[in-house]
Amino acid sequence: MEATEKTIKLAVNGGIDFGSKLNAKQLIILAKYLEEDQELELTTFQQLYIEIPESRKEEAIAEFAQAGLSCYPVGSFVKSLRTCNFCKGAEEEGMPVAIDLNKRIAGKPVPFTLKPAYTGCPVGCGEPLINDIGIMKVKDGYSLYAGGKSKGQDARPGTLLYEQLTQDELYQKVDILIDIYNENGKKREPVHKFIAQFGKSELLEMINAVFQSKKQDDL
Ligand code: SF4
């Protein structure tokens, strides 16, 4: 019997830009790694799942990167940042901040798949309130939500943790929040359950304490 080669799954998208799009070159590169009867899976999170032979993993990641495709691990990791379409312009709606934030957090290991979402104005097209971590740009500041639940009959918006954060405060508070969840969350415990268990005030106290001590270290 012919031995079949082990495959691995990669999450791929075209990165953060105006809308979630792929160009023809990117589609051709993806097709190179697919058999005729193989399928790409389109997730609800602006990612495509592609299964490739394990031996071609490095080659595929390098070739995808050359074509401007971003690759992320599949499983209990922070997913790539889901964003709105930045209809009012990149600068005004904070696209550079979304790109930086995605670089900082996407792919970090966590107790259970964590979906972060960003939206450039209060209209909220990126649906930040129903994701694990949600960021909404409001005027010149950033609101940070956590623990939203999009599925099930008990779907609900996340808790507002902070309003009018600066760019730097946003980066640090999101980093600290993910670290706290990572250190204290049980295996396969989603963010909304973790926050309910841990308590919003305890969580805020811990985030603020770590934030202040980092500030002291930087002085
Ligand atoms: S959230 Fe605001 S900036 Fe982003 S696509 Fe919607 S309306 Fe445009």
Q: What is the CATH number of the domain that holds 24?
A: 3.30.70
Residues of the domain holding 17: 7-72
Q: What is the average pLDDT value for the chain, to the nearest integer?
A: 94
Spatial distance between the Cα atoms of 126 and 207, rounded to a whole number of angstroms = 25
Q: Which residues pair with 135 in a beta bridge?
A: 118, 144
Name the maximum alpha-carbon separation found in the chain.
66
Q: pLDDT tens across 26-57, in order? A: 999 999 999 999 999 999 888 999 999 999 99
Residue 63 sits in the same domain as residue 105:
no
CA distances from 12 to 16, 45, 132, 154 (A): 12, 11, 20, 30
Is residue 127 in a domain?
Answer: yes
Tokens of 190: 């989603």
What separation in Å is there between the alpha carbon of 210 and the centre of ligand 1? 32
> Of 48, 72, 96, which residue constitutes the final position of a domain?
72
Residue 105 sits in the same domain as residue 174:
yes
Q: Is the pLDDT of residue 216 over 90?
A: no
Q: pLDDT tens across 69-83, in order? A: 999 999 999 999 999
- Residues contacting 114, CB < 8 A, separation 6+: 77, 78, 79, 132, 133, 178, 181, 191
- The count of structural domains within the chain is 2
The reported pLDDT for the residue numbered 129 is 97
Is residue 77 in a domain?
Answer: no
Residue 12 sits in the same domain as residue 90:
no
Residue 159 sits in the same domain as residue 198:
yes
The reported pLDDT for the residue numbered 20 is 85
What separation in Å is there between the alpha carbon of 89 and the centre of ligand 1? 9
- Residues contacting 95, CB < 8 A, separation 6+: 16, 17, 83, 86, 120
Q: Is the pLDDT of residue 194 over 80?
A: yes
Contact 101/81 with Cβ under 8 angstroms?
A: yes
Residue 99 sits in the same domain as residue 160:
yes
Q: pLDDT tens across 90-118, in order? A: 888 899 999 999 999 999 999 999 999 99
Is residue 42 in a domain?
Answer: yes
Is residue 129 in a domain?
Answer: yes
Residue 66 sits in the same domain as residue 156:
no
Residue nearest to atom 6 of ligand 1 (CA): 125
Residue 130 sits in the same domain as residue 192:
yes
Q: What is the CATH number of the domain that holds 190?
A: 3.30.413.10
Q: pLDDT tens across 124-183, in order? A: 999 999 999 999 999 999 999 999 999 999 999 999 999 999 999 999 999 999 999 999
What does the DSSP 8-state code read for residue 111? Answer: S
The reported pLDDT for the residue numbered 5 is 82
Higher pLDDT, 171 or 214: 171
The reported pLDDT for the residue numbered 3 is 63
Choose which residue among 93, 97, 135, 138 to substitute to test ligand 1 binding: the one with the highest number of ligand atoms within 8 A of its C-beta.
93
Residue 86 sits in the same domain as residue 182:
yes
Residue 49 sits in the same domain as residue 109:
no
Is residue 121 in a domain?
Answer: yes
| Mean pLDDT on 209-218 | 90
Spatial distance between the Cα atoms of 153 and 22, rounded to a whole number of angstroms = 34
Range list of H helices, the chain = 24-32, 57-66, 95-105, 167-184, 191-198, 200-218
Contact 164/143 with Cβ under 8 angstroms?
A: yes
Is residue 2 in a domain?
Answer: no
Residue 101 sits in the same domain as residue 188:
yes
Residue 56 sits in the same domain as residue 105:
no
> Of 17, 49, 72, which residue constitutes the final position of a domain?
72
What separation in Å is there between the alpha carbon of 136 and the centre of ligand 1? 10
Residue 159 sits in the same domain as residue 214:
yes
